């Protein structure tokens, strides 16, 4: 089976992890900050806070931005459920903004309309979570413009998009958002086994996220209600969680992230090969947009909805590990209790009826890719 995505573990990665295993610290040691600095450097952001998953990082980001009961968060219906669940963890409500069919990403025009309506009705969201689906950056300029106008915070869910650029600038540099979250799950571009990092330009948000990932505890005397009882002293000043990344995981991430540019280049090369092959058979290639470099976490083809199931199962039968990203979140049974129904976000639903993620990973050989292309051509 050729998988739709696969991690690439080198001898250097293994050595880096083994070094931590034989060192003094398995967690809360020096490798987590080193990994944070490496991620911050790639994103060109001053601050990075590592957590045990991007899901945790999204939760902590929402909490640090003050999301709570009575508030709402808007995201894209075409994403992994974690992009929306982070609001529910905070006791807030979730709503969605339909996608732009040309990019698969949250549509700035739909957002503008929905915000105008929400302002009239007095239910503007507190936080917006645009998702860089497949690694293709959302059109952040108009999104950030709207967020400024309506005083809304923005968290970029860049789980797919480390190494991507928007107008030549790296995703995560904070030019158009308050916080950006990356995932380091093994199917993503760079992995730490499990892991997530939140980057930000705000020292205040970074300090608060670091506190929230570790029980809401501080050792900073300035933040305490009274002078420390002694050198052992710490105070819990708010409610946090244990969302820490281990040094074992950080070592893998730190070793891997050195190859991020190489990976993104390789993924773009493979994407170009797919594009060429598919344009020859009049199949819509993966979505692109102006002024962006996609990280190509995924390569998604879109097929006739009538043929979707047949092509999907046909590819699986031919040993090609295709997948579907994503089932619209508003159609998940759990989300039905909030009143969402089929038809609410028609572009997202159309996308769902057509999308197939085909294999895309940096160690994919041209032979493997040719096998995928031949199978797709045969079935389409
Ligand atoms: C993978 C993913 C997440 C969650 O990442 P974890 O690190 O697995 O928690 C969130 N959002 C999107 C878009 C993802 O693809």
Ligand 1 centroid, distance to 159 Cα (angstroms): 5
DSSP letter assigned to residue 3? -
| DSSP per-residue letters across 111-128 | HHHHHHHHHHHT---SEE
Q: Which atom of ligand 1 is nearest to the CA of 58?
A: 10
Q: Which atom of ligand 1 is nearest to the CA of 188?
A: 1
Q: Which atom of ligand 1 is nearest to the CA of 79?
A: 13
Ligand 1 centroid, distance to 79 Cα (angstroms): 9
Testing ligand 1's pocket by substitution, the residue of 159, 198, 295 carrying the most ligand atoms inside 8 A of its CB is 159
Q: What are phi and psi of 367, to 5 degrees?
A: -60, -45
Share of the chain above pLDDT 70, in %: 100
* Contact present, 180 and 198 (Cβ < 8 Å): yes
State pLDDT tens for residues 325-378: 999 999 999 999 999 999 999 999 999 999 999 999 999 999 999 999 999 999
Q: What is the mean pLDDT of residues 167-194?
A: 98
State the pairing for strand pair 169-170/179-183.
unpaired
The span from the CA of 205 to the CA of 377, in Å, is 49
State pLDDT tens for residues 192-209: 999 999 999 999 999 999
35 Cβ neighbours under 8 A, 6+ residues apart: 50, 192, 197, 245, 250, 251, 253, 254, 257
The span from the CA of 373 to the CA of 354, in Å, is 18
Q: What is the mean pLDDT of residues 35-45?
A: 98
For the record, the structure tokens of 266 come out as: 């390789």
CA 338 to chain centre: 24
Q: Find out whether the peptide bond into 326 is cis, omega within 30 degrees of 0.
A: yes
Comparing CA positions, the residue from 294, 262, 185 lying closest to residue 12 is: 262
pLDDT score for 292: 97
Ligand 1 centroid, distance to 99 Cα (angstroms): 18
Ligand 1 centroid, distance to 185 Cα (angstroms): 7
pLDDT score for 343: 98
| Angular region, 133: left φ>0, alpha ψ -120 to 50, beta rest | beta
State pLDDT tens for residues 279-320: 999 898 888 888 999 999 999 999 999 999 999 999 999 999
The span from the CA of 4 to the CA of 186, in Å, is 12
pLDDT band at 43 (very low <50, low <70, confident <90, very high): very high
State pLDDT tens for residues 143-166: 999 999 999 999 999 999 999 999
**Planar angle of CA 52, 175, 138, nearest 5 degrees:** 75
pLDDT score for 46: 98
For the record, the structure tokens of 153 come out as: 């915070």
* Contact present, 277 and 377 (Cβ < 8 Å): yes
The residue whose two tokens read 């992890």 is: 17
| DSSP per-residue letters across 198-252 | EEES-HHHHHHHHHHTBTTEE--GGGSSS--SSTT--EE-S---B-PPBHHHHHH
Q: Which atom of ligand 1 is nearest to the CA of 196?
A: 7
State pLDDT tens for residues 233-277: 999 999 999 999 999 999 999 999 999 999 999 999 999 999 999
Radius of gyration of the chain (CA): 21
Ligand 1 centroid, distance to 303 Cα (angstroms): 25
């Amino acid at each position: 089976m050729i998988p739709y995505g696969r991690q690439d573990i080198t001898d250097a990665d293994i050595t880096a992890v083994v070094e931590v295993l034989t060192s003094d610290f398995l967690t809360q040691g020096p490798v987590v900050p080193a990994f944070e600095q490496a991620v911050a450097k790639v994103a060109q952001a001053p601050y990075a806070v590592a957590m045990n998953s991007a899901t945790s990082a999204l939760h902590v980001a929402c909490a640090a931005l003050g999301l709570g009961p009575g508030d709402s968060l808007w995201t894209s219906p075409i994403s992994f459920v974690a992009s929306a669940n982070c609001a529910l963890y905070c006791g807030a409500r979730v709503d969605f903004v339909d996608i732009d069919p040309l990019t698969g990403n949250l549509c700035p025009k739909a957002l503008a309309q929905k915000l105008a309506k929400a302002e009239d009705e007095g239910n503007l969201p507190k936080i917006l979570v645009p998702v860089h689906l497949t690694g293709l950056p959302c059109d952040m300029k108009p999104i950030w413009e709207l967020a400024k106008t309506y005083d809304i915070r923005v968290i970029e869910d860049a789980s797919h998009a480390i190494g991507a650029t928007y107008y030549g600038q790296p995703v995560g540099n904070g030019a158009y958002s308050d916080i950006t979250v990356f995932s380091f799950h093994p199917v993503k571009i760079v992995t730490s086994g499990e892991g997530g990092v939140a980057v930000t330009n705000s020292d205040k948000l970074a300090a608060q996220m670091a506190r929230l990932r570790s029980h809401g505890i501080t050792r900073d005397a300035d933040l305490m209600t009274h002078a420390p009882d002694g050198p052992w002293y710490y105070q819990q000043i708010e409610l946090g969680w244990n969302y820490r990344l281990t040094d074992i995981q950080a070592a893998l991430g730190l070793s891997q992230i050195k190859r991020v540019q190489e990976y993104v280049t390789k993924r773009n090369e493979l994407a170009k090969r797919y594009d060429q092959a598919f344009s020859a058979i009049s199949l819509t290639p993966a979505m692109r947009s102006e002024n962006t470099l996609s990280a190509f976490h995924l390569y998604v083809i879109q097929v006739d909805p009538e043929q979707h199931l047949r092509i999907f199962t046909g590819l699986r039968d031919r040993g090609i590990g295709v997948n579907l990203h994503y089932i619209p979140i508003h159609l998940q049974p759990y989300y039905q209790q909030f009143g969402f129904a089929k038809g609410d976000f028609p572009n997202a639903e159309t996308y769902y009826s057509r999308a197939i993620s085909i294999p895309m990973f940096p160690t994919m050989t041209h032979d493997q890719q040719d096998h995928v292309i031949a199978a797709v051509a045969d079935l389409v």
